[in-house]
Structure 1
Amino acid sequence: MIHYTCDRCKREIDACHETRYTVRIEIQASSDPALADFDEDIDHLTELHQVLEGIADDDLDFPLSLPAQIVRYDLCPECHQQFLKNPLGRDAMMAIGFSNN
Structure 2
Amino acid sequence: MEKKNYSGMTDAELLLEKKNFKTSRLLHAAGIGFLAGIVVFGFGAWILSSDRSLGFLIPMFFPILFIYKMLKNPKQDDGLMEVLKARGLN
TM-score in same-fold range (> 0.5): no
Select the structure that is richer in helix.
2
Query: What is the TM-score with the length of structure 1 in the denominator?
Result: 0.26
**Alignment TM-score, normalising by the size of structure 2:** 0.28
Higher strand share: 1
Max Rg structure:
1
